[in-house]
């Protein structure tokens, strides 16, 4: 009792719950932006406590860069643009970048 040759076994398509690709938002160190301003930026745009924001700022200051948060691409890019625009309004050279996580 042979299977019919048109009975090709197709792998059933399983609906995978797909997570969006995630992107890191980083601050870069510079010699001019005041530490207090950087702490306020991290609190305001990345919803961190004063203590968390201070730790992140010090990491950026000593290591050159630090992650403020990880988000889907559109949110990560919006945060980067908000940080840069706020820093420029305040005439600070603070740099913010997005990287694939």
Compute the least distance from the CB of residue 21 to ligand TYC, in Å. 25
**Would you tell me how many other CB atoms lie within 10 Å of the CB of residue 40?**
16
68 burial class (0-12, 13-18, 19+ CB within 10 angstroms)? buried
Closer residue to ligand TYC in complex, CB, 72/93:
93
Where on the chain is the footprint of ligand TYC (CB under 6 A)? 27-31, 33-35, 38, 57, 60-61, 94
Partners of 95 in the beta sheet?
28
Compute the least distance from the CB of residue 79 to ligand TYC, in Å. 14
Closer residue to ligand TYC in complex, CB, 24/61:
61
* Residue 32 DSSP symbol: S
């Amino acid at each position: 009792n042979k299977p019919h040759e048109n009975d090709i076994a197709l792998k059933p398509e399983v609906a995978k719950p797909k997570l969006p690709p995630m992107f890191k938002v980083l601050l870069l160190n510079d010699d001019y932006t005041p530490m207090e301003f950087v702490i306020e930026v991290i609190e305001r745009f990345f919803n961190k406590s004063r203590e968390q924001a201070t730790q992140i700022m010090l990491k950026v200051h000593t290591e050159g860069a630090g992650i403020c948060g990880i988000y889907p691409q559109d949110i990560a890019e919006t945060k980067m643009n908000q940080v840069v625009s706020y820093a420029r309004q305040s005439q600070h050279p603070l740099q913010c970048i997005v990287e694939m996580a």
